[in-house]
Structure 1
Amino acid sequence: MPKLPTLELFFAEFRRSWIQFRRYPAEAIGGIFIITSVFYGLFLSAQYVAGPGLSLGDRLDSIIVGYILWTMVTFILFDISGTLQREAQTGTLEQLFLAAFSTPRLFFIRAVASLMIQMILIVTILGLIMLLTSRFLAFPIVLFLPLLSMIFGAYGLAFIIGSLTLLFKRIQQLFAVVQFSLLFLISTPTEEWEGTGKLISYFLPMTPGAGLLRDLMARQIDLSWDRLAIAFLNGGVYFTIGILIFRWAERRTKQQGKLSGY
């Protein structure tokens, strides 16, 4: 079978994701409504408990940044595992592993193409939250750098979760645990920790990049290039670990003859 160029494969996957997005608009609209409503409900609850004198200032901006980043990371994390589950259910999983491309590259390109479509939803959700809360974030051009470091780390975790899906097929309960653990992890202002806590935060997945984005978008602080280097190192390490674990899980699944089973 002749190999497709990587760029051609990306555009094919992007077109596939766009067709699916257009065919199921109710799902996209429902996702926007639910995610926005959850945040706004929490915001109104906090206002009610604290009274009319509540003034969070840039803390509310930081909370908005953390919530949006968590939404994006959630899309990323469960894209690969969701693809694996759907392909296993329809009986086409084995065909993907026989493709001309290596499996990690295929799933990574498919996930990136899907994320570009999902970014439409994420930007829409962010815009609605800013309108509802009357808090408007800053968008300096350099924010894409820490965002990229976070995306690498998120895909590393996505491949780890995908490995578990490949081995066990159904891990929905784990999804919930990971999802809400990440909400705490990404929303916590680890960039304000001191001493040993700050050192620990450098090893937690995606937290260095999330801290930089809070500084840029909520506090209007200039980008720290030293912390950016740490963020990219963090994302690169988790991405590499995720790929290695996924390759091991692929070999293990093939050895056990469970690739086509569900």
Structure 2
Amino acid sequence: MLRLFLLEFWRVLRLQLRYPLEFVSGLLILTLLFYGLLIGAQHMTGVDSVGDSLNGIIIGYGTWIIVIAGLNQIPTDITGEAQRGTLESIFLSTYRIDSIYLARSLAGSLQNLVLTFGVLLLLLWLTGRSVQFPPSAILAVATTIIASISLGFFAGGFALRFKQVGRTLMLAQYPLLFMMMTPFENMSPEILNLSMLLPVVPSAVTLRELTTAGKPLGETHIVLAALNAITYLVVSMFFFGRYVRSVKANGLLGGH
């Protein structure tokens, strides 16, 4: 698995170095999208409509970028391979198909972390805000990545069966944006407890607690975030495996 991850990481790195304009374009688009919405809201209301909650909103936006990358990675790869006619060759690899896509998702997530960090730096600079980022926040970022990859496996199962899922993925971005932006930690204990059952939400809450509220790791929801991420990953990989067997049994692998 380590060798497979290193191979995928090297592939992702070479593609990034070959097409640097894609990285710069993504950085500018994601930054201007958030900043444009923020300026538009302030212009329409005539006041600072977010106030002290802006730091948490920025962190939530960064979390959303990580989640969307994890969600799109596997289904986008499957769709692209199906269109090129190379999807079958991947299934003939000596590695398990779920291991291949897990390694690809992890490698892609590391690349996306650089993009996300750049977007956050630009947004904090443009808004004149600052947030803490203690070393313990790395654990919350790790659980966020794992949970986002689990969403990718769920979407990847549908991509294997239906091949074209682009619009469905776009539709899924909006509830995920709402989930990442909503400050569940400031709501009633009942709502907070229910939100811990949703994918990625415990990780998003923990990130805000560490970076904007300044809580020590022991007073955050890091344990729930880890359990949530691991549980969803195991379930999603089982779901993906079921779809792999179904697609093979029905001869639907080569379609596009």
Please report the TM-score for the alignment, with normalisation by the length of structure 1: 0.93
Q: Does 1:49 align with 2:44?
A: yes
Please, which moves more after superposition, 187-196 or 107-116? 187-196
Secondary structure of the residue aligned to 1:129 is helix
Aligned positions of 1:60-75 closer than 5 A: 60-75=54-69
Q: Does 1:78 align with 2:72?
A: yes
Q: Distance in 2 between matches of 1:226 and 1:211?
A: 8
Please, which moves more after superposition, 139-148 or 43-52? 43-52
Counting matched residue pairs gives 256
Secondary structure of the residue aligned to 2:217 is coil
Following TM superposition, by how much is the alpha carbon of 1:248 offset from its aligned partner in structure 2, in angstroms?
0.2
Q: What is the CA deviation profile of residues 136-192 of structure 1, one whole-angstrom value per residue up to 9, with x for unaligned ones?
A: 111100001122222221111110000000010001221111111100011111122
Q: Distance in 2 between matches of 1:80 and 1:54?
A: 37
Partner amino acid, structure 1, of 2:211: M
What corresponds to 2:120 in structure 1? 126
1:191 and 1:208 in contact (8 A); partners too: no
Q: What is the CA deviation profile of residues 108-134 of structure 1, one whole-angstrom value per residue up to 9, with x for unaligned ones?
A: 001111221222211111111111111
Partner amino acid, structure 2, of 1:47: Q
Computed over aligned residues only, the root mean square deviation of the Cα atoms, in angstroms, reads 1.5
Q: Distance in 1 between matches of 2:170 and 2:102?
A: 23
Residue 221 (structure 2) aligned to one of 220, 224, 227 = 227
Q: Does 1:217 align with 2:211?
A: yes
Partner amino acid, structure 2, of 1:20: L
Residue 26 (structure 1) aligned to one of 11, 21, 26 = 21
Q: Distance in 2 between matches of 1:174 and 1:88?
A: 17
From the superposition, tell whether residues 132 and 53 of structure 1 become closer, same or farther in structure 2 (CA, over 3 Å). Answer: closer
Following TM superposition, by how much is the alpha carbon of 1:227 offset from its aligned partner in structure 2, in angstroms?
2.0
Identical amino acids, percent of aligned pairs:
32
What corresponds to 2:33 in structure 1? 38
Following TM superposition, by how much is the alpha carbon of 1:225 offset from its aligned partner in structure 2, in angstroms?
5.3
Residue 7 (structure 1) aligned to one of 2, 7, 14 = 2
Residue 238 (structure 1) aligned to one of 225, 232, 235 = 232
Q: Distance in 1 between matches of 2:50 and 2:205?
A: 22
Please report the TM-score for the alignment, with normalisation by the length of structure 2: 0.95
Residue 208 (structure 1) aligned to one of 185, 199, 202 = 202
In structure 1, list runs of 5 or more residues that go unmatched: 1-5
Secondary structure of the residue aligned to 2:221 is helix
Partner amino acid, structure 1, of 2:38: F
Following TM superposition, by how much is the alpha carbon of 1:208 offset from its aligned partner in structure 2, in angstroms?
1.0
What corresponds to 2:130 in structure 1? 136
Q: Does 1:155 align with 2:149?
A: yes
Partner amino acid, structure 2, of 1:178: A
